[in-house]
Structure 1
Amino acid sequence: MESNKWTISVKKLEQQFQFLKDNNYQTFHFSELDLMKKIPKKSIVLTFDDVTENQFIHVVPLLEKFNLKASFFIPFFYVGKTDLWNNTPVDLQQKIMSIDQLKLLNAEKIELGYHSYAHKKYESLNASEIENDFAKCEEVIKQSNLKIYPVLAYPFGNYPKNDSQKNDFKRILSHNKIKFGLRIGNRRNTFPFKNRFEIKRIEIEGKDSLMVFRLKIKLGKLKLF
């Protein structure tokens, strides 16, 4: 598999994991952070959206190889299907893991979280639609008996920005017992988190060189790259 903006080659990912291992970075699950008041300086949370079958085939073995932890986020409606939300041609669609594949994941290495039900931008949904989205997630979780930690990666990094809508959104998250919400942001986070529902993620692109990867995890994403 070749690298591009949204897809990283196995070779590049292995180089990145090797760098983290060689430089003594410690990886954590969000469930662990919830119990901690302080973390080591070289701490990182690895996150992967969409639980594609490619992640099952390629990412999981590399996490095992380098003894790293990661969080995988599930768009529940699409489990066992393909990434239909991208509206790509059938021959280019990516398979999404099945329930059976999700259950095969090693919980010591991989923590499962929410990526919504329908993979829609939260900013485009009203409060009732967001509540309904959560309800449908819970139906799948209950029926499949999956162990899901209450951390949510917002689809497309999108969430309501208007103050009143944002307040409603955060109330809905709290009502559904979500402990952490992940946006984009491309900046390093301080810990403990200042805002649990606006945790910034650094976007690593498939085209990034190892040097750019190193700079991003040290400084965040700059205009230089």
Structure 2
Amino acid sequence: MYHSVSRNLQESHGLTIAISKLEEQFAYLKENGYQSLHFKELQNIKGPKQFPEKPIIITFDDVYENQLELAYPLLKKYSLKACFYVPLKYVNKTDIWNTNKEPIMSVSQLQSLDSDVVELGLHSFAHNNYSQMTDDEIQADFDLSKDFILKNNLEIHNTLAYPYGKYPRKGEAKTRFFNLLHQNKIAYGLRIGNRVNAFPFKNNYEIQRLDIKGEDSLTTFKRKIKYGKLWF
């Protein structure tokens, strides 16, 4: 899981990764036989035996313009695919949840992405924390998302990356949340969790992603994609 990309190695920390480090990681994946997938491809896979030998799903949250400028060319250079998750309210604006200065792609920029390389997914409408929202507020967020997608003719796959990785975790609230996802035809829900997932997933709405940090060395990256949380 990636977020912002920078040309400056000194800024490679936390949610921001330097392009030099990102290229090093992408080159490693390519040279070591990893095959990147989109979530839409999983719908035709019935079990582990139908997977490539080293499958991996690369994800980027927030669709910053720097992903278009820096990450997208690298994906094409190394023949990799990735999934980009869109906070629809902030398209053609700036993020308010992190730096409040990073520009987010416009509709035309999102439409320009090659769908063979980038699969667009949902990062909610307003980038709010689902664990702090009522059922009605969550449904309203879905309704706004659908309206925006239709109005702007965007091809958004029915995969949802939870903002901040947060969602109701316990009891009836969790059950109601998952029911809302099902009613809104969400196929996969992505949290954080830092585990390497087995397929078929134990729960399609609790898929855990590996959090790649800007300060991670290549050795750390290799260990994360091999062992996940077991290494920490």
**Equivalent residue, structure 1, for 2:155:** 147
Using the size of structure 2 for normalisation, the TM-score is 0.93
1:221 deviation in Å?
A: 3.2
Q: In the alignment, which residue of structure 2 is the partner of 1:101? A: 109
Aligned residue for 2:183? 175
CA RMSD of aligned residues (A): 1.0
Matched letter for residue 46 of structure 1:
I
Runs of at least 4 residues off by over 6 Å: none
8 Å Cα contact 1:39/1:191 also seen in 2 = no
Match of 1:43 in 2: 55
Matched ranges for 1:22-61 at <5 A: 22-37=31-46, 38-61=50-73
Q: Deviations over 1:181-201 (max 9, x none)?
A: 001110000011111000010
* 1:16 alignment counterpart: 25
Amino acid at match of 1:10: I
Aligned length: 220
- In the other structure, the counterpart of 1:121 is 129
Task: Return the alpha-carbon distance in structure 2 between the equivalents of residues 127 and 41 of structure 1.
Answer: 40
Structure 1 position 84 matched with structure 2 position 85: no
- Gaps of at least 5 residues in structure 2 are 1-7
* Secondary structure at the counterpart of residue 85 of structure 2: strand
Give the Cα–Cα distance (whole angstroms) in 1 for the partners of residues 158 and 14 of structure 2. Answer: 29
Residue 223 of structure 1, CA deviation: 6.2
CA contact (8 A) 1:113 1:148 kept: yes
State the alpha-carbon separation in 2 of the partners of residues 163 and 45 from structure 1. 30
**1:64 and 2:64 matched:** no
Q: Distance in 2 between matches of 1:169 and 1:81?
A: 28
How big is the shift at 1:222?
A: 4.7
